[in-house]
Structure formats: C-alpha cells, structure tokens
Amino acid sequence: MDAPGRSGPQNDGMPLFPVHETRLYADLRGPEDGFPLLVLHGGPGLDHTIFGTWLDPLADTFRLVLVDAREQGRSDRGTDPATWTLSQHASDVSALAAALGYEEYAVLGHSYGAFIALQHAADAPGAAAATIVSSGVPSMAYLDEVDKGLAVFEPEELREQVAASWAREATVQTEDEARQLMLDQLPWHFADPRDPRIAEITLADMVFSTAVLRAASLEGGGLDIDVEDRLPHVTQPVLVLTGRQDRTCVPAASERIAELVPGADLHVFEGSGHLAFIEEPKAYVSVVRAFLTRAVGAPAS
C-alpha cells in the first residue's frame, strides 16, 4: 500500500487520472512510498517516452510519474484547443498531483515541459516541494536565438534537413509523418550532430499528437511563456539544467532563470546540447538525485 499522501488510483487498471475535464496518462515507476517526481515531457505533441529509461536509475528511490500532457500521448483526446496553454498545463500539474493523492511532490520538466514547470512555479509558488527546469526559457525572446543558430549549423545537409522538418510541422497529419520530422530534428538537439546515438533513437513507442503539433506551429500556439517578472516570487528550491551546446533553449536562458529565482542552483552539462539526459545520462541523474536529496530529504540511494 502507498504511504499516506503519496497513493494514487489506477482507474480500472489503466494509468489515466482525472484532471479537470479530462484524464491524463501517467507511467508510474519506482517504489510506491518513494517521494513523487512528476516528469513533464518536451514537445509539444510528444509524450513521456521521450525519456525512455534514461531517468529510471532515480526510481530506486523516487516515485517517478512520467506524465503525458493534456491531449498528448496516451492521455484522453477531445479537449478544447483553447485549453492547450501553458497556464492550463500548469494547473493540470497541481490537479494531477491531487488526483494521485500527493500532498508533497517535486516537478521535473524538460524543454516544453520545462516551460510548464516554470509556469507552474510562477502561478503556484510553493505548490511543488522542488522544481527542476531542464533546458527551458523564461520568455519567448530567448527562442530568437534558434534562427541565429540554424544559420551557422553544420553540416549544411543537416541544416537543410532540420529546416525542412520545422516547416512540415504546420501541416503534419499522421503519426508516421510526425515521427519522421522529429527524427530529422535530432541532430540539431545533440551537441555533436553526428553523435552515433542518434541512429539508435527510433521513437517507436511514442504516441504523437499531430493536432497539438500543428497548433504549436502557429504564432502563439500555446508556446508563449513570459514569467521573468514573477520568478523572484518562487519560493521552492529550484534546479536549472542546461547543455553548453543547447541550440534551442540556449544556456543564457537558463542562466537568467537561475539569476531570477531566489537561491536557485544552476548546472551546465559541458558535453551536451538539448538532450543532456541522453548525452550525459549518468551526470544528469547524479545532479538531479543530489538536488532532490537536498531539497526534499529523500534518501541518497
């Protein structure tokens, strides 16, 4: 039986949990009495399988809750597109924690999930016992660096491949199309565009939401984040993670988050781009574990 305050229903054996007017899918890993860590995937339009098993070493101590955001992955479909906003996603985090029965929990968000984690911290300071912002930005202005980075991205054939895949996001219709364009973008996200690990990634288990992906390609499109002015009011411990070679959410954005959040920790993975949990997995897990151990008092192993 789960420890008090950390239990969660399973809805007829399926890991779907009521959140506002919909249900979210969550893959629960690790000890039932472990301190809960809600893990928010990148995207939008992707799902929790982007993390694969890279974070599983943390499940020796923590209760990992790998979440599929509203309308994405294995979560229910049919929500109003007007609700596909960062504010709603942030509210869903608190609602999911309540549905799971968690009185205390931590949040780790990566990329788009980091936007949600930051929005949650800004909208509800202290709701999470600790927050980890992995490759995020505090405002849309930092994403202007993407075009500058693409202009000098090498090799040229991969630059063209990445640019073409971004253009297809606005019209993507099928899951196979979505999978291919995401695979085409992987070289951009690694510090080394020729990293041999890229070829090992298939995204075969991912359930794509092409509707969310198309919507996000529009101006605004639910991606807008602007919380810089509210970050000084965040009260929980915050860890900010970035890769030195991150071309999407540049290190300067993480540095700004760490500057604004009182007492925030910043860690830069020198050998990584946008996917440090894949590029430097042991170091990533070690840094996250050490932070959580300090912040929430969980056992070190």
Q: What is the pLDDT of residues 233-264, one digit of tens each?
A: 999 999 999 999 999 999 999 999 999 999 99
- 265: pLDDT strictly greater than 50: yes
Cα–Cα distance, 112 to 46 (Å, whole number): 10
- 7: pLDDT strictly greater than 80: no
- 12: pLDDT strictly greater than 50: no
pLDDT of residue 224: 86
Long-range own/partner contacts, residues 297-300 (CB < 8 A, 24 or more apart):
298/34, 298/35, 298/61, 298/62, 299/61, 300/61
SS3 at position 132: strand
- 3: pLDDT strictly greater than 70: no
Confidence bin at 11 (pLDDT 50/70/90):
very low
Assign domain 16-143+207-295 one CATH number from 2.30.30.360, 3.40.50.1820, 3.40.50.1370, 3.20.20.140: 3.40.50.1820
pLDDT of residue 299: 65
- 2: pLDDT strictly greater than 50: no
Confidence bin at 179 (pLDDT 50/70/90):
very high
Name the least confident of 4-18, 119-133, 271-285. 4-18
pTM of the model: 0.94
Confidence bin at 219 (pLDDT 50/70/90):
low
Mean residue pLDDT across the chain? 93
- 76: pLDDT strictly greater than 80: yes
Helix ranges restricted to H, 100-155: 112-123, 145-151
pLDDT of residue 300: 52
- 202: pLDDT strictly greater than 70: yes
pLDDT of residue 261: 98
SS3 at position 272: coil
Q: What is the pLDDT of residues 81-109, one digit of tens each?
A: 999 999 999 999 999 999 999 999 999 99
CA dihedral (161, 164, 169, 174) in degrees, to 10, reads -70
Confidence bin at 221 (pLDDT 50/70/90):
low
pLDDT of residue 297: 85
pLDDT of residue 10: 41
pLDDT of residue 220: 54
Question: Considering the chain, what percentage of its residues have pLDDT values greater than 90?
Answer: 90
Give the list of residues 6+ apart from residue 182 with CB closer than 8 angstroms, or none: 46, 165, 203, 206, 208
- 110: pLDDT strictly greater than 50: yes
Mean pLDDT of the 152-176 span: 96
Mean pLDDT of the 213-218 span: 86
Give the closest residue to 115 by CA, choosing from 209, 44, 221. 44
